[in-house]
């Protein structure tokens, strides 16, 4: 039986999750339909723009993403403390970028005077919005629903565009996080959409190598689609690489970007057509530091979804969470 989301997503267990959402009815999110020859390539920009904008509004960081022809992959880190630190006005400013809210909320945002009872109602709304801005389910709802409406409008049809539920996998260890990120970043290479990670379009690894996200264009596109009321916060970059473990609070990925890029490049070369993989002369030091076997790494990064259904981590950690 399918587990409810509240039992699959727990920040106490891990803040990192691999998310997959797929289209139904053979729909194309992007790319070219082989049967009709119609191009849906422009929809890839829809999803990338909205993903980056929503990350800036929600307490959710993006580690990796890839927009494919009929599904999307995202590796996220939940950061509820970032939302808890905001005051009421900041919460309203973020939420009203997406939804107008009830009349009293609109009056508060317009600077109108409210009586005590009305302020109490608005305060309750702020508490609700604060919880939603920390919630992965609301993040995915705000990501997928507007895309579905716009795609249905463009296709002159109604009904479901996405599958009923997105898939989430808890990432419990550094090995799990690295494997999921590399799996996502190499998806276009495996699918034959690109011959190298740096040439793949609408992926996080290309954005990290050659940052080119146009904030104003993204905002305008979402407004033109009728899915955005404005944008009041700075654009949040992809979750940064710390480079090393230090004796202070660290919020990013605890390894170096150069190591990760080398790791993805090496793995990508092992995925060449007609090759079952090979062991290069010089393994990236990150594998050695994490004591990850190279052959196991190849399995993880090529068959991640098949091998790990809901959670990925050491056996002892899995037993503890299951209990």
CATH number at residue 276: 3.30.70.1290
Last residue of a domain, which of 72, 105, 132? 132
In whole angstroms, what is the distance from residue 156 CA to residue 85 CA? 43
pLDDT at 58: 97
Q: Does residue 169 lie in a domain region? A: yes
Do 48 and 120 lie in one domain? The reply is no
* pLDDT surpassing 80 at residue 65: yes
Do 169 and 90 lie in one domain? The reply is no
pLDDT at 225: 85
Longest dimension (CA), the chain: 72
Q: Does residue 5 lie in a domain region? A: no
Do 201 and 222 lie in one domain? The reply is yes
Q: Does residue 209 lie in a domain region? A: yes
Domains identified in the chain, total number: 2
Do 189 and 311 lie in one domain? The reply is yes
Do 121 and 150 lie in one domain? The reply is no
Contact 79, 60 (CB under 8 A): yes
Do 244 and 98 lie in one domain? The reply is no
Q: Does residue 225 lie in a domain region? A: yes
Strands 167-171 and 71-78: unpaired
* pLDDT surpassing 90 at residue 296: no
Q: Does residue 317 lie in a domain region? A: yes
Do 96 and 203 lie in one domain? The reply is no
Do 173 and 251 lie in one domain? The reply is yes
pLDDT at 277: 47
Last residue of a domain, which of 132, 160, 192? 132
Nearest to 66 by CA among 170, 172, 220, 208: 208
Last residue of a domain, which of 103, 132, 161? 132
197: Cβ contacts below 8 Å, ≥ 6 apart: 185, 186, 188, 189, 203, 205, 206, 209, 264, 265, 268
In whole angstroms, what is the distance from residue 214 CA to residue 217 CA? 5
Q: Does residue 1 lie in a domain region? A: no
pLDDT band at 275 (very low <50, low <70, confident <90, very high): low
Q: What percent of the chain has pLDDT over 70?
A: 81
pLDDT at 287: 66
Do 293 and 227 lie in one domain? The reply is yes
Do 121 and 46 lie in one domain? The reply is no
Ranges of beta strands (E only) in the chain are 16-22, 60-67, 71-78, 167-171, 311-312
Domain assignment of residue 107, given as a range: 83-132
Mean pLDDT of 116-131: 96
pLDDT band at 249 (very low <50, low <70, confident <90, very high): confident
* pLDDT surpassing 90 at residue 285: no
Do 22 and 114 lie in one domain? The reply is no
* pLDDT surpassing 90 at residue 138: yes
Do 144 and 257 lie in one domain? The reply is yes
Nearest to 19 by CA among 151, 126, 167, 141: 167
* pTM for this entry: 0.85
Q: Does residue 65 lie in a domain region? A: yes
pLDDT at 279: 43
């Amino acid at each position: 039986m399918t587990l409810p989301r509240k039992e699959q997503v727990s920040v106490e267990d891990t803040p990192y999750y691999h998310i997959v959402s797929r289209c139904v009815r053979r729909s194309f999110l992007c790319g070219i339909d082989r049967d009709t020859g119609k191009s849906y390539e422009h929809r890839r920009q829809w999803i990338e723009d909205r993903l980056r904008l929503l990350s800036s509004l929600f307490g959710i960081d993006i580690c990796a993403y890839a927009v494919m022809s009929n599904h999307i992959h995202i590796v996220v880190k939940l950061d509820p403390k970032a939302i808890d630190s905001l005051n009421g006005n900041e919460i309203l400013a973020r939420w009203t970028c997406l939804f107008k809210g009830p009349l009293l909320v609109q009056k508060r945002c317009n600077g109108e005077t409210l009586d005590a009872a009305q302020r109490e109602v608005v305060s309750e709304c702020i508490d609700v919005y604060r919880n939603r801005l920390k919630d992965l389910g609301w993040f995915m709802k705000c990501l997928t629903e507007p895309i579905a409406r716009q795609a249905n409008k463009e296709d002159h049809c109604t009904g479901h565009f996405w599958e009923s539920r997105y898939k989430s996998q808890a990432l419990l260890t550094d090995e799990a996080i690295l494997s999921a990120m590399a799996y996502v970043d190499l998806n276009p290479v495996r699918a034959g959409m690109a011959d190298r990670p740096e040439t793949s379009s609408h992926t996080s690894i290309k954005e990290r190598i050659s940052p080119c996200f146009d904030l104003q264009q993204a905002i305008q596109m979402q407004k033109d689609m009728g899915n955005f009321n404005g944008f009041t916060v700075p654009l949040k970059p992809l979750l940064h690489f710390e480079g090393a473990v230090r004796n202070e609070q660290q919020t990013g990925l605890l390894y170096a970007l150069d190591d990760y890029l080398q790791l993805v490049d090496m793995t990508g070369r092992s995925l060449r057509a007609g090759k079952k993989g090979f062991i290069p002369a010089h393994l990236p030091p990150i594998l050695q530091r994490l004591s990850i076997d190279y052959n196991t790494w190849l399995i993880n990064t090529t068959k991640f979804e098949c091998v790990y259904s809901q959670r990925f981590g050491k056996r002892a950690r899995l037993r503890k969470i299951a209990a």
